[in-house]
Structure 1
Amino acid sequence: MHIPRAGRRSGWCRVAVTGLLALGLGVFGLTPAQATTPSPHARSSTGSTEPLGKTAPTAKNLVPLPSGYGTTPAEQTAMRAAAVRAARTGKAVAVDALTTPTEVVEALPSGTFGLSSNPVPVRVEKAGGWAPVDLRLRREADGTWAPRATAYGSVAFSGGGNGPLAVTSSGEVSLSLSWPTRLPAPVVSGERATYRSVMAGVDLLVSATPAGGLSDTLVVHSARAAKNPALSSLRLGAKVRAGRLTQDAGGTLVVTDRQGRVIADAPAPLQWDSNRTLPATRLPAGAKVAADASDAGHPGLAARVAPVRAKVASGALTLLPDARMLAARSTVWPVYVDPSVNWHPVDYTSPAFDEVKQGCPGTSFYNKTTALADNGNLGVGYNGWPEGYCNTGDEHSVYQWSLSKTIWGATISSAEVDATDIYSASCSTTATVNLHWSKGIGSGTDWSNRPHYNSWSSTPMRPAPTNTSAPSARAT
């Protein structure tokens, strides 16, 4: 699994955008001495006071729960201190007491505060403060390899031998996956570890995700390697501590804790080949189209994609790669087989993302970054090529941000969503992206059950060179 981004398929363009919500805020429930009057020309929305409820119960041994409105006295103290420091230094100062893996509140030199929210974790709390997510692998004292900093969970990969391939944990729950044979020592480069020749002509690549999960990809280099009978059914040892590993009707693997809450998932695995020849189709006049190359992280635009069946039994996870693709003369090598696991917090208001596809009207891609979900490069606009079992059609990207409780009672002076185009199959014309305010999303969100869209803002996108990063767009 990889960092989810949003993509745009507008006309014959396929691009992707990273979602970031930024708010400029005035009063954050501070006392009048810290309040700042917003610019008379700024857009603003002033909150009201917390609604009054019934008197809190006075029975003994009841733990008072927060109301969910406003900041605590300790948080307000931290905000005041940050505001003083920002005014003195002339630089933005983060309020650590309000920082989360997806949100940061900063005191600004102007006397206001800014909130930035991401749909995926970008920072990790460590002793002494917060650090950026860092997926580069380093060798641990026990001989395993682990990323430097991940949010929500942690993961460690084998240094070679008969031990587990990977152990990923979050809180008291852990999942251990074991390869059926002895593993060679990995070749490690940056964020990826490669176990070469786990079968003749087959490599195994592993990497961590920002949430502390894992992506493990088999690379089948040739038709000869694909004929190995061991590749037709891969039985991995799978042990869960303090939880359960099950499978839902859609093939998604889920890890639940002792309370039955889903705290990790592994979308139904897929495989893809390295084909780069696009099917014949009618293009707008002057359009130049090219398919990108497949790799272990994603299928190229023209890649053939097929599902990998998975079976969960006591202490085992069995993967059944698509035999037709492995045997077809038309298959372009190498072929990639990719099952992944990712942790997420038990909070249904947490940041989330989704891609709804007209070509797959009943398939949910909620919080998924698999090959069929465009590896997190969420599509927007019209997609003119089939992908796996998805047909052509329109695609929408939906983001859900978790807004800080400091919003309550604040004066919002500005708000914007920053989007960065990262890929295009053809960008010979400009297009417009509409940013809508929508209703919520969840695991049942798909094209046939997509959220209702409310007000919207349009932003023009300039064309970009094929297969390269494109200019960013901003909607306010």
Structure 2
Amino acid sequence: MWLPTDAALQFAPDGRVTPKASAVSVTFSGGGTGALLTGVRDGRTLSLTWPKALPKPTLAGNVATYANVLPGVDLPLKAEVEGFAQLLVVKTPAAAQHPDLASLKFKLDTVGLNVSTDATTGLINAVDLAGQSAFTASTPMMWDSTTTGGGTTSPLLMSKTAAPRVLAATTGGETPAPSDTFVAPSGAKDAQMPTTVTGGNLEIKPDQALLTGASTKYPVYIDPSLAWGERQNWAWAYRSWPNNSYWNTKQDVRVGYESETNGLSRSFQLDTTNLKGAQVTKSTFRAKKTWSWSCTATPVEL
């Protein structure tokens, strides 16, 4: 029986947390020492485990939040129709000083997958025995809560990698909705995080200058999000930083030129195998605009 997809989370009879209906079998921890998250698709399995026992999460829509996994640090997980996303939310300067934030180590368990990281771009890739990508993650990033809406941040204070994370705007006094915490605000100071896969661990090293900087605005968000590989893909080809990987990055799609970060380009890859032999007479591509750097009407070609 076919069911409409629904990423809203619920506690399963075994105590773990699952979405009501998704394209990927995803479960999150219900608390304790088991795997933080497990994804299964076509017999291929990926599990990540937090090094400490987890509290029972609070569920809100498609987000499960594990409070105070370190003092002053929350760990929210978000279920999506095609996968999952995770964050560490460092709420205060005191929390940022915790020694465990110098290097984050998630125990990595897989079945039928080999996981590696690209030394140049930071792209994380898991391939099956046939060499096909099962999941990917763009260069892991972190960002603070600086926004352009409040009028307190100069573009000169943003990091050199900030452009690919400038995605949504908030105005002074606004508090983002829970789902918005997974998207960097416009003007956020951000940094890449070196990532390696060794000894059965996924190790991510947060940028300490951003994490504990005097001008850093808290909370700070640490994002090692993963996505299951599909033929429906998208990526940035960012002119200013051509060696950075933004393949299937968990952010809003952007297109065109904006002067503050010197522009970017965009590409999409869509699976059309189910159209083989068909005569296409009409096709529609829909996108919802959430932000613009200019109020001038300009065409966009697809």
TM-score range, shorter chain: 0.7 to 0.9
Render the CA deviation track for 1:388-447: whole Å, top value 9, x for unaligned. Answer: xxxx222233333333655636362x444333312235x5x33222314xxxxxxxxxxx
SS at match of 2:301: strand
Tell me the amino acid that sits aligned with residue 381 of structure 1: G
Count of residues paired in the alignment: 279
State whether structure 2 residue 194 is matched by structure 1 residue 313.
no
Are 2:9 and 2:17, in contact at CA under 8 Å, matched by a contact in 1?
yes
State whether structure 2 residue 94 is matched by structure 1 residue 224.
yes
Spell out the pairing of 1:203-242 with structure 2 (5 A cutoff). 203-211=74-82, 213-242=83-112
Spell out the pairing of 1:152-231 with structure 2 (5 A cutoff). 153-211=24-82, 213-231=83-101
CA RMSD between the two structures: 2.2
Aligned counterparts of 1:355 and 1:236: Cα–Cα separation in 2: 27
Are 1:357 and 1:393, in contact at CA under 8 Å, matched by a contact in 2?
no
What's 2:270 paired with? 401
What's 2:256 paired with? 381
Are 1:187 and 1:193, in contact at CA under 8 Å, matched by a contact in 2?
yes
SS at match of 2:286: strand
Match of 1:297 among 182, 192, 195: 182
What's 1:244 paired with? 114
Aligned counterparts of 1:298 and 1:201: Cα–Cα separation in 2: 20
Tell me the amino acid that sits aligned with residue 258 of structure 1: L
Render the CA deviation track for 1:247-302: whole Å, top value 9, x for unaligned. Answer: 12222222121223221112221100001234269xxxxxxxx9427752111111
Render the CA deviation track for 1:21-67: whole Å, top value 9, x for unaligned. Answer: xxxxxxxxxxxxxxxxxxxxxxxxxxxxxxxxxxxxxxxxxxxxxxx
SS at match of 1:402: coil
TM-score by length of 2: 0.84
Aligned counterparts of 1:176 and 1:417: Cα–Cα separation in 2: 34
Distance 1:266 1:405, change over 3 A: closer
Distance 1:399 1:246, change over 3 A: closer
Alpha-carbon deviation of 1:333?
0.5
Distance 1:227 1:366, change over 3 A: closer
Alpha-carbon deviation of 1:355?
2.6
Are 2:139 and 2:245, in contact at CA under 8 Å, matched by a contact in 1?
no
Higher relative contact order (CA 8 A, sep 6+): 1
Distance 1:182 1:133, change over 3 A: same
Are 2:143 and 2:188, in contact at CA under 8 Å, matched by a contact in 1?
yes
Alpha-carbon deviation of 1:155?
1.0
SS at match of 2:247: coil
Q: Percent identity?
A: 32
Distance 1:186 1:432, change over 3 A: same
What's 1:279 paired with? 154
State whether structure 2 residue 225 is matched by structure 1 residue 359.
no
Tell me the amino acid that sits aligned with residue 418 of structure 1: R
Match of 2:8 among 132, 136, 154: 136
Are 1:251 and 1:310, in contact at CA under 8 Å, matched by a contact in 2?
yes
Alpha-carbon deviation of 1:195?
0.5
SS at match of 1:196: strand
What's 2:161 paired with? none
What's 1:8 paired with? none
Distance 1:140 1:397, change over 3 A: same
Alpha-carbon deviation of 1:189?
0.7
Distance 1:384 1:237, change over 3 A: same
Spell out the pairing of 1:410-421 with structure 2 (5 A cutoff). 410=279, 412=281, 414-421=282-289
Render the CA deviation track for 1:60-100: whole Å, top value 9, x for unaligned. Answer: xxxxxxxxxxxxxxxxxxxxxxxxxxxxxxxxxxxxxxxxx
Distance 1:257 1:280, change over 3 A: closer
Aligned counterparts of 1:422 and 1:296: Cα–Cα separation in 2: 15
Moved over 4 A (4+): 404-407
Alpha-carbon deviation of 1:359?
2.4
Are 2:123 and 2:245, in contact at CA under 8 Å, matched by a contact in 1?
no
Distance 1:251 1:361, change over 3 A: closer
Alpha-carbon deviation of 1:147?
1.1
Aligned counterparts of 1:269 and 1:416: Cα–Cα separation in 2: 32
What's 2:138 paired with? 267
Render the CA deviation track for 1:163-192: whole Å, top value 9, x for unaligned. Answer: 111111112211111111110000111100
What's 1:32 paired with? none
Spell out the pairing of 1:43-62 with structure 2 (5 A cutoff). none
Gaps of 5+ in 1: 1-127, 282-289, 370-374, 386-391, 437-476
SS at match of 1:230: helix
Distance 1:313 1:407, change over 3 A: closer
Aligned counterparts of 1:359 and 1:242: Cα–Cα separation in 2: 37
